[in-house]
Chain A
């Protein structure tokens, strides 16, 4: 027990907490839009392209995060172009992009066998190994994405409720939606190293889904989602330290637990 308390005071935990708190803050407002706009699969698609981004980072001699950022933004732009040109359903397009990016990543990885690469960190993230550099990415990139989202909040909400009506009322629908698509690519690139490819979307959608039941307004739901994500982070980190479980996975498990618990509370009128 003394050992556990000593661990709580260590700098790596402070960094894990700061990194997680940053992600929780942006997970709320982005998560609610991803839920409303049914874009969960889009988050997954971006995450799947992460491996290609990491390889690109190695090839170009850049940091993996910059590689991931380039690939995520390129994928977002490609998606916007394909959606306006192809007549395929959104999930078909996303699936094609997702698996193509993953396959390309695996192929690229085979050319990079000189590089030691920890696939499990990449897949599941390592919240307890957050570096100062990661913190800069999360708070810098995430903070920027957050600021832009606040700036486009009203038009994006109007476009999310109904595109045609918003258009008729003079909202720049196409531009707003494209900006949002790029912002999601940005936050996924910033958070992927810490949370991992497989879990990043969960942290966006589960707190938002939990918040939905208690919210009276869109903004209310976003704040609720951030608060729930934050408590999931605390609970998950403590659990992970005490029982020595993977941190990001424990955070997502906590978030899922909060969702289940929230369904046991009777809904207020």
Chain B
């Protein structure tokens, strides 16, 4: 039975490119007023999953369900504007959404950059730019917010502030947030659910529980998880450094 609070349901998503299995049977559900964080190493398929959730690329198998009438907000991993294009922050956030100046100002205030409303987008610092991107995603008052490594390029304080801001936005907008990150510790505090992705879902759970999960430790290496350096663990599969997740062909033999 569909839950009324469900905003997004990805079921058994498979995505293969050039004979490499990028996503293998991945299912994720996102509900209202909830932050789900996807973590995983580079090339684990996190951004691909997000693009499938957005409808930017089709999945090879599996279903994508978005609550009808849901308003999407998206913060891409990187966005660079050609320096020849003169654009103010106010204009940038309204490129495909109509809004009056008061609405723009209110949204910029939410992300703490109201003073930048008439600044050129070419003069912003990294942290300001991330907040401008977030403001653009927030302007249509989304019920579903998808963010692809929104805090990259920020220093630790900046990242903390950014994730605090996301928690605040979830509480005020009561929207669902699907977040991609590879910051191990910073994302934890504000997330309701953390999913470790390495082409398939290795493990998932509440942030506190996950940090003790053997699969989580296997994926990120025990040395990255300071307080559990001596933890002894078993896991049911291996991950190479560079190769994609090896599809379980051999199992069928």
Please, how many angstroms separate the alpha-carbon atoms of A217 and B95 in the complex?
A: 12
Please, how many angstroms separate the alpha-carbon atoms of A154 and B82 in the complex?
A: 17
Does the CB pair B96–A35 fall under 8 Å? no
Please, how many angstroms separate the alpha-carbon atoms of A262 and B96 in the complex?
A: 33
Please, how many angstroms separate the alpha-carbon atoms of A38 and B84 in the complex?
A: 10
Please, how many angstroms separate the alpha-carbon atoms of A79 and B215 in the complex?
A: 48
Interface of A is mostly: helix
Does the CB pair A154–B96 fall under 8 Å? yes
**Which residues A204-220 have CB closer than 8 A to chain B?**
209, 212, 215-218, 220
How many A-B pairs have beta carbons closer than 8 Å: the answer is 64
Does the CB pair A168–B56 fall under 8 Å? yes
Partner-binding segment picked from A91-99, A132-140, A158-166, A252-260: A158-166
Does the CB pair A36–B76 fall under 8 Å? no
Number of interface residues of B (CB under 8 A): 23
* B1 in the interface (beta carbon within 8 A): no
Does the CB pair A165–B88 fall under 8 Å? no
Does the CB pair A165–B79 fall under 8 Å? yes
Does the CB pair A161–B74 fall under 8 Å? no
* B72 in the interface (beta carbon within 8 A): yes
Does the CB pair B84–A217 fall under 8 Å? no
Closest partner residue, chain B, to A162 (CB atom): B79
* B209 in the interface (beta carbon within 8 A): no
Does the CB pair A171–B84 fall under 8 Å? no
Does the CB pair B95–A161 fall under 8 Å? yes
Task: Return B146 CB to nearest CB of chain A, in Å.
Answer: 8
**Which residues A166-213 have CB closer than 8 A to chain B?**
166-171, 209, 212
Task: Return A157 CB to nearest CB of chain B, in Å.
Answer: 6
Please, how many angstroms separate the alpha-carbon atoms of A35 and B83 in the complex?
A: 10
Residues of A within 8 A of B55 (CB): 168
Does the CB pair A36–B85 fall under 8 Å? yes
* A246 in the interface (beta carbon within 8 A): no
Task: Return B26 CB to nearest CB of chain A, in Å.
Answer: 20
Task: Return B144 CB to nearest CB of chain A, in Å.
Answer: 11
Task: Return B131 CB to nearest CB of chain A, in Å.
Answer: 16
* A143 in the interface (beta carbon within 8 A): no
Number of interface residues of A (CB under 8 A): 26
Does the CB pair A217–B88 fall under 8 Å? yes
Does the CB pair B86–A217 fall under 8 Å? yes
* B92 in the interface (beta carbon within 8 A): yes
Please, how many angstroms separate the alpha-carbon atoms of A169 and B92 in the complex?
A: 13
* B241 in the interface (beta carbon within 8 A): no
Does the CB pair B86–A165 fall under 8 Å? no
Q: Which of A161, A170, A216, A221 neighbours the largest number of chain B CB atoms within 10 Å of its CB?
A: A161
Does the CB pair B79–A168 fall under 8 Å? no
Knowing A36-B85, A161-B85, the reply to whether A168 touches B95 (Cβ < 8 A) is: no
Closest partner residue, chain B, to A37 (CB atom): B82
* B54 in the interface (beta carbon within 8 A): yes
Residues of A within 8 A of B140 (CB): 169
Does the CB pair B85–A218 fall under 8 Å? yes
Does the CB pair B84–A218 fall under 8 Å? no
Task: Return B141 CB to nearest CB of chain A, in Å.
Answer: 13
Residues of B within 8 A of A215 (CB): 86
Please, how many angstroms separate the alpha-carbon atoms of A155 and B92 in the complex?
A: 13
Residues of A within 8 A of B106 (CB): none
Residues of B within 8 A of A165 (CB): 74, 76, 79, 136
Interface, chain B (partner A; CB < 8 A)? 51, 54-56, 72, 74, 76, 79, 81-82, 84-88, 91-92, 95-97, 136, 140, 146
Jot down 19 A-B pairs with beta carbons below 8 A, ordered by A: A36-B82, A36-B84, A154-B96, A161-B81, A161-B95, A162-B76, A165-B74, A168-B54, A168-B56, A169-B74, A169-B96, A170-B96, A171-B96, A209-B84, A212-B86, A215-B86, A216-B88, A217-B87, A218-B91
Closest 8 CB pairs of A and B: A168-B74, A158-B95, A169-B96, A158-B96, A215-B86, A36-B85, A168-B54, A162-B79
